[in-house]
């Protein structure tokens, strides 16, 4: 690829794929690459899952779009399947993770407005990633993503991830806090898990309940079966007021969702939020098909078993080199020694091992394989990575 009309918003790798099937991507000359990234946690059911492909094909030939000025039967059905799985009351369909979080943050403002706040604040975390619309970007920690955009910093309070004491201090120091927004496991920020695991979410909810704040979970990356439950919070006894998701929701078809429950339900009314494309018949039928697969197969159990297998195999072979693993289900962080030079790992994995991975947080390999990866494929992910890393020191 030489001349391009595309804005250079991404450092693209010098490769492109022309087809995908299950856990595999293929170049034009049909070279197979084992995909342990799935388009950044998107194709959780694998590339071109037959049931999703069938849903797209059938709906594309029937009705693609009518707008939300009309009833949309598939949106009703997708909403029911999603809210039932997520244990939430109602949903707004958007088109991406950032839009889902934008909706959540707007809900928090409406909630504050009901209480007469002049300038409400939302507590967010260090190393967080919530998207690139202006409000979701302002909630995001990554300095490179924020640079130059005059982010709305006075509307957010940033505290260390996993630190409940910092939340208590923020509550004492600031008036007009209306919500906490947090990822159950931080994806972009380094596959970070809290020291007490998902128990952190219960402690956060307790703070929210004590102060009458909305407890808002960003499950854009952790949702849709990725960690072995429909939503990662379901590993705990916590219950969010607001829950956002995208990525795996459409298995590659662009769609996002902001769900609400209890005191957050009913904040949006007619005209207070919207999206021309949100929840088209096509997008909704795709969501419905994804949830049909999640509900009627053992795919989430498979994510737990295979994720554990990959983590254990890697640590057995590489623990002696100071490598550890964290995460849940098929959201795996392989933590490398901090002094290791990781800059070429993604390229070397691709070129030498035909393995697609990602490195985040500087020294953490992020693996996001399909939830339905077969054991022989999981073994190959681990083996290829072990060979790569053993030749790296």
Catalog residues that contact ligand PLP under the rule CB under 6 A: 40, 96-98, 101, 129-131, 183, 187-188, 218, 220-221, 246
CA angle 366, 370, 375 (to 5 degrees): 100
When the beta carbons of 240 and 382 are compared against ligand PLP, the nearer one is: 240
Q: How far apart are CA 106 and CA 272, in angstroms?
A: 10
Torsion of CA 241, 244, 250, 254, to 10 degrees: 140
343 is in an annotated binding site: no
Enumerate residues 6+ apart whose C-beta is below 8 A from 49: 43, 251, 293
When the beta carbons of 313 and 358 are compared against ligand PLP, the nearer one is: 358
Enumerate residues 6+ apart whose C-beta is below 8 A from 326: 191, 193, 311, 332, 333, 335
CA distances from 67 to 278, 280, 282, 283 (A): 8, 7, 11, 12
93 is in an annotated binding site: no
Residue carrying structure tokens 């088209």: 280
When the beta carbons of 46 and 97 are compared against ligand PLP, the nearer one is: 97
Enumerate residues 6+ apart whose C-beta is below 8 A from 231: 85, 86, 217, 219, 222, 223, 224, 243, 245
Nearest approach, Cβ of 328 to ligand PLP (angstroms)?
14
Burial of 51 (0-12, 13-18, 19+ CB in 10 A): middle
Nearest approach, Cβ of 156 to ligand PLP (angstroms)?
15
Nearest approach, Cβ of 139 to ligand PLP (angstroms)?
9
When the beta carbons of 124 and 178 are compared against ligand PLP, the nearer one is: 124
When the beta carbons of 38 and 353 are compared against ligand PLP, the nearer one is: 38
Nearest approach, Cβ of 129 to ligand PLP (angstroms)?
5
Q: How far apart are CA 139 and CA 124, in angstroms?
A: 6
220 is in an annotated binding site: yes
Nearest approach, Cβ of 347 to ligand PLP (angstroms)?
21
260 is in an annotated binding site: no
219 is in an annotated binding site: yes
132 is in an annotated binding site: yes
Nearest approach, Cβ of 269 to ligand PLP (angstroms)?
25
The annotation places the binding site for N(2)-acetyl-L-ornithine at 132, 275
The annotation places the binding site at 97-98, 129, 132, 218-221, 275-276
The annotation places the binding site for pyridoxal 5'-phosphate at 97-98, 129, 218-221, 276
């Amino acid at each position: 690829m030489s001349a391009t009309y595309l804005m250079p918003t991404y450092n693209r790798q010098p490769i492109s794929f022309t087809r995908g099937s299950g856990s595999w991507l293929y170049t034009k000359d049909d070279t197979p690459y084992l995909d342990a990234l799935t388009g950044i946690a998107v194709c959780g059911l694998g590339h071109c899952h037959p049931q999703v492909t069938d849903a797209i094909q059938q709906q594309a030939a029937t009705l693609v779009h009518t707008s939300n000025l009309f009833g949309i039967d598939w949106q009703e059905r997708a909403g029911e399947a999603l809210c039932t799985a997520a244990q939430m009351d109602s949903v707004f369909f958007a088109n991406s993770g950032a839009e889902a979080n934008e909706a959540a943050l707007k809900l928090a403002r409406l909630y504050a407005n009901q209480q007469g706040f002049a300038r409400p604040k939302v507590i967010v975390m260090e190393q967080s990633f919530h998207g690139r619309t202006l409000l979701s970007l302002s909630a995001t920690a990554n300095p490179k993503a924020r640079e130059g955009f005059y982010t709305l910093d006075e509307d957010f309070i940033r505290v260390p991830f996993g630190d409940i004491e910092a939340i208590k201090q923020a509550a004492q120091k600031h008036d007009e806090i209306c919500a906490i927004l947090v990822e159950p496991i931080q994806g972009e920020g380094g596959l970070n898990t809290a020291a007490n695991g998902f128990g952190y979410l219960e402690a956060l909810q307790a703070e929210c309940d004590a102060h009458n704040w909305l407890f808002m979970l960003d499950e854009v990356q952790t949702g849709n079966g990725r960690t072995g439950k429909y939503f990662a919070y379901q590993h705990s006894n916590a219950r969010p007021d607001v829950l956002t998701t995208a990525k795996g929701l459409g298995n590659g078809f662009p769609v996002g969702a902001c769900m609400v429950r209890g005191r957050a339900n009913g904040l949006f009314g007619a005209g207070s939020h919207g999206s021309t494309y949100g929840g088209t018949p096509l997008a909704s039928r795709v969501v419905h098909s994804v949830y049909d697969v999640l509900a009627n197969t053992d795919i989430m159990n498979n994510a737990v078993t295979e994720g554990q297998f990959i983590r254990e195999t890697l640590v057995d072979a590489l623990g002696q080199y100071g490598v550890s693993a964290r995460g849940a289900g098929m959201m795996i962080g392989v933590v490398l020694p901090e002094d290791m030079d990781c800059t070429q790992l993604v390229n070397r994995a691709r070129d030498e091992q035909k393995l697609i991975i990602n490195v985040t947080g500087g020294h953490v390999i992020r693996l996001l394989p399909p939830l339905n990866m077969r054991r022989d494929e999981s073994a190959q992910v681990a083996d290829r990575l072990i060979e790569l890393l053993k030749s790296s020191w």
